[in-house]
Structure 1
Amino acid sequence: MNPAEPRRDGTRAIISGAGMLSVAMLMANIGNYALNIFLGRVLTPAEFSDANLMVTLMLTATAVALGLEMVTARYTSVAEAGGNPGAADLVARRLRWWTGGAGVVAAVALIAPAPLWSDLFQTASAWPFVILGLGLPFYLQQAIGRGVMQGRLRFGLLASTFVIEMVTRLSVAIALVAAGWGVVGATIGLSASFIVTWVSVTVLARASGERADPAIPMSEVGRYGAFVSVLLAAQMIANNSDVLVSKAVLAPDDAGTYAAVALVGRAVFYLAWSVATVVFPVVARRHAGGDDSGGILRGSILVISAMGGLCALGALWLGGPVLGIVIGPAYADLSVPLAAYALATTLFAVANLVASVALSTGVLRPSVFVLGGALAQLMLLLIWHDDIAQLILVQIIAMSALVAAMAIDAAVRRPTSARHDEGAAA
């Protein structure tokens, strides 16, 4: 790097990148909530519950896509830091081949037993499962391109893809639902956004055109992918198990009400993820260069905690009345559940940040903690699920225990690490 050039992975890059992604993700969330407001007004609570189930399945696919993005972003960051961008291109091409096969398998798993899924989750039709399955391969493919942009710190281009995804989903779904297609129309909007996002990412995430010298062994990439899959599994379980359990055990109208709470509460996680998305490649680069990044992690935890706290306070103050106005009076008394859900989500977002930053340096341990917390939450949900309040309380307990366990582990391990470093220096 030319000494006269500013560091692309410094504080300014983190702030500007996080700002762009936060704005893009805020716009995407606003668009998604506009769609859900529309669906809440034109669909019955039971139909809205069906539509939200499709959104939940989409978010499960999003967790897989985020895992693929993290793998691609890390090796792109490492290759860029080492002056070998061609190696990142080669990794991305090979991952696209693998992801293509995985996408087909995922599509078949959703489409072939669609009637069974419909019976299990008490939906009015099996067609939404089929339609969503058709779009899954495209959504997994686009994650590779987003990982390339993330790893090269192209946060402006990366942010634009989230806006494109939202605009497509909003316009197609509203048009089809207004035309009388109901839940099927909303699901077509989801799959259409997958395809359009894949096209835009393919165009924007162009290869460097340089030769890989040397190439990154795919066996190493595979081992790291196994590490990432631990956090990926934790995200899927923690973010979606509550909605799936509520859909299976609550009455349709109650499940629809809980769906509204979950959709609003999830905004906290995805806003927080904009911070984690920026920090991940920056820490990977600094680690590859032998630089410390502890200050970045501490600052990011403070930012996410502040974002979550403000969201929880806003939900407690205005959440229910606003929902009552924009969706309907059936949702007007949800301020306390919304605030409580935002608190649980903030705790998980902090744990997820710590685990993802550790993964950027190749450390698995925090991800194992997050997976343990997610599994504990699922077990508690399966035991105590009488009503909406109990579902949310279980999540607060599980996520509080997770953050406490990770903090205690870090405090215990820090003195050991310090003594090891002193011994090495001596």
Structure 2
Amino acid sequence: MNTLRIVLKKVSPEQMFMASVLLVNGGNYIYNLILGRLLGPESFADAALLITLLLVLSFVGMTFQLATAKFAVVFSGSEWMNFRNLIYRYAIIFGMVTGGLVVFFSKEMQLFFKTQTPYMFVVFGFGIPLYFLMSVNRGSFQGNLEFKNLSGTYQTEMWSRLIITLALLLFIPMEPAFIVAIGISLSFLFGLIPSNFKGLSFSKPIILQPQSSKRVSQFIILTACYEFTQIIINNSDVLLVKHYFDEMDAGLYASLALIGRVVYFVAWMFVMLLLPAVVQKQKDGDPTAPILFKYVGYVGLLSVSIVAVCYLFPELIITLMFGDAYVSVAGLLWQYALATSLFAISNIFAYYFLSLDHYIPVILSGVLGLSQIFLIVLFHENLFNVVQMQIISMAILLVVQLIYFMKKRNSL
């Protein structure tokens, strides 16, 4: 016991957070694997759609989280408290509007995505305001380097979703997609543990200094635009496959996407550490490029390893994770992992520039994100075409980000 305590004392908060993220990613994969095996490819297609919508929601929520994290570093005292009250107010309003729209258009979403029931979208919509509250809460922990509490919110969200969904699937005879929606929405409530709402007030007027207000508005708009490109790049393929292909192919592709995206999910922990570190270095007048090199190196090494494993053992990976019913897409696994790896590396560059208030990378990502949709719409004869279009788009995106960095490197 004493040895364990000594070891834990030597582990930095950042390392503890990285370990926590790996555990959360592992739990999320177990969650996806359980759904895939219990439901089979056709029923899994609807469940995977909800998981994709959860990813879309996470990108939107990241606007609130990153803004809160950045200005937790920049602001202090009463200015920080005013900003904190304001961002929580924005999150609640935006969450209620977004959730209301999802509920209102639930039947139209059922028709477009060819799902079994519209009520899965209704339940999902009711949980959306909680997600944005959770995002601001996490941003506060992230910016203040409270990695223990930040890790806790991810753990409570993940484990509650896994346990609630599995319990309902095993013991309640309802539409599987509806059950998955319940598990996702309830997990947002548990994701608010731990929280720090001390000092919040939603009744009194909130005023930021004009210069601060302008800076906050610019960053939120810039981040929102970039997160929109993230939604396009990271989720448009699954949504388009769900629309263009039958239930079987959509379910097979969903399993492929969930395995191939592992490098992207792991890369997120580096983004969480990157932003506050870069902002602090910029605030102190120190060079920021060395931080970028460190995290690009980590993600690059991770990417090469995962692509190699997917290339060498595709059928074994598919069979172990989802079962024999999904093995027909094994040949595409390493290619999908390659596309995701290219995106993950370019994403490190993009968030680095975003933390420094550079606008051009956001525009570039948006253009290439739209080009990915355009290419898939034009070339979707089979799943192979869909994956190839993503490799082309993401390779171009990474090259463009590298060129932009080379031009700006002397000032970083």
Contact 2:40 2:325 in 1 (8 A): no
Residue 237 of structure 1: aligned partner? 232
Judged with a 3 Å threshold, the aligned counterparts in structure 2 of structure 1 residues 249 and 99 are, in CA distance, closer, same or farther, namely same
1:345 aligns with 2:337: no
Judged with a 3 Å threshold, the aligned counterparts in structure 2 of structure 1 residues 298 and 218 are, in CA distance, closer, same or farther, namely same
Q: Which moved further from structure 2: 56-65 or 355-364? A: 355-364
SS in 1 for 2:380: coil
Please report how far the alpha carbon of residue 391 of structure 1 lies from its aligned counterpart in structure 2 after TM superposition: 0.9
Judged with a 3 Å threshold, the aligned counterparts in structure 2 of structure 1 residues 132 and 408 are, in CA distance, closer, same or farther, namely same
Please report how far the alpha carbon of residue 292 of structure 1 lies from its aligned counterpart in structure 2 after TM superposition: 0.9
Contact 2:319 2:327 in 1 (8 A): yes
Please report how far the alpha carbon of residue 18 of structure 1 lies from its aligned counterpart in structure 2 after TM superposition: 4.7
Q: Which moved further from structure 2: 134-143 or 84-93? A: 84-93
1:143 aligns with 2:171: no
1:31 aligns with 2:27: yes
Contact 2:82 2:207 in 1 (8 A): no
Q: 1:76-120 CA deviation, whole Å, 9 max, x = no partner?
A: 1112xxxx2442232121111111111111111111111111011
Contact 1:86 1:208 in 2 (8 A): no
Residue 332 of structure 1: aligned partner? 327
Residue 321 of structure 1: aligned partner? 316
1:127 aligns with 2:119: yes
Residue 194 of structure 1: aligned partner? 188
Q: 1:42-79 CA deviation, whole Å, 9 max, x = no partner?
A: 21322100000011111111001111111111111112
Instruction: Please point out which of 361, 364, 371 is paired with 1:376.
Output: 371
Q: Which amino acid in the other structure matches residue 78 of structure 1? A: V
- 1:170-181 equivalence runs, <5 A: 170-179=162-171, 180-181=173-174
Q: 1:368-409 CA deviation, whole Å, 9 max, x = no partner?
A: 222222111111111111211111111010000011112223
SS in 2 for 1:386: coil
Judged with a 3 Å threshold, the aligned counterparts in structure 2 of structure 1 residues 301 and 326 are, in CA distance, closer, same or farther, namely closer
- Aligned-residue Cα RMSD (Å) equals 2.2
Judged with a 3 Å threshold, the aligned counterparts in structure 2 of structure 1 residues 206 and 146 are, in CA distance, closer, same or farther, namely farther
Q: Which amino acid in the other structure matches residue 202 of structure 1? A: S
Contact 2:82 2:208 in 1 (8 A): no
Please report how far the alpha carbon of residue 208 of structure 1 lies from its aligned counterpart in structure 2 after TM superposition: 11
SS in 1 for 2:195: helix
CA distance in 2, matches of 1:122, 1:213: 46
Judged with a 3 Å threshold, the aligned counterparts in structure 2 of structure 1 residues 17 and 353 are, in CA distance, closer, same or farther, namely farther
1:94 aligns with 2:86: yes
Instruction: Please point out which of 34, 39, 44 is paired with 1:43.
Output: 39
- 1:142-291 equivalence runs, <5 A: 142-179=134-171, 180-181=173-174, 182-198=176-192, 200-203=193-196, 217-291=212-286
CA distance in 1, matches of 2:101, 2:208: 38
Judged with a 3 Å threshold, the aligned counterparts in structure 2 of structure 1 residues 213 and 127 are, in CA distance, closer, same or farther, namely closer
Judged with a 3 Å threshold, the aligned counterparts in structure 2 of structure 1 residues 100 and 367 are, in CA distance, closer, same or farther, namely same
Residue 357 of structure 2: aligned partner? 362
Q: Which moved further from structure 2: 69-78 or 314-323? A: 314-323
CA distance in 2, matches of 1:254, 1:247: 8
Q: Which moved further from structure 2: 322-331 or 303-312? A: 322-331
Contact 1:17 1:278 in 2 (8 A): no
1:63 aligns with 2:59: yes
Residue 298 of structure 1: aligned partner? 293
CA distance in 1, matches of 2:208, 2:292: 31
CA distance in 2, matches of 1:321, 1:354: 33
Q: Which amino acid in the other structure matches residue 25 of structure 1? A: V
Q: Which amino acid in the other structure matches residue 261 of structure 1? A: L
Judged with a 3 Å threshold, the aligned counterparts in structure 2 of structure 1 residues 214 and 98 are, in CA distance, closer, same or farther, namely closer
Please report how far the alpha carbon of residue 299 of structure 1 lies from its aligned counterpart in structure 2 after TM superposition: 1.3
Unaligned stretches of 5+ in structure 1? 1-14, 419-426
Please report how far the alpha carbon of residue 144 of structure 1 lies from its aligned counterpart in structure 2 after TM superposition: 0.7
Contact 2:332 2:387 in 1 (8 A): yes
SS in 2 for 1:217: helix
Judged with a 3 Å threshold, the aligned counterparts in structure 2 of structure 1 residues 335 and 46 are, in CA distance, closer, same or farther, namely closer
Please report how far the alpha carbon of residue 32 of structure 1 lies from its aligned counterpart in structure 2 after TM superposition: 1.7
CA distance in 2, matches of 1:23, 1:120: 39
Contact 1:110 1:133 in 2 (8 A): yes
Q: Which moved further from structure 2: 16-25 or 303-312? A: 16-25
CA distance in 2, matches of 1:372, 1:409: 15
Task: Compute the TM-score of the two structures, normalised by the length of structure 2.
Answer: 0.90
Residue 75 of structure 1: aligned partner? 71
Judged with a 3 Å threshold, the aligned counterparts in structure 2 of structure 1 residues 319 and 165 are, in CA distance, closer, same or farther, namely farther
Contact 2:310 2:317 in 1 (8 A): no
Identity of aligned residues (%): 28
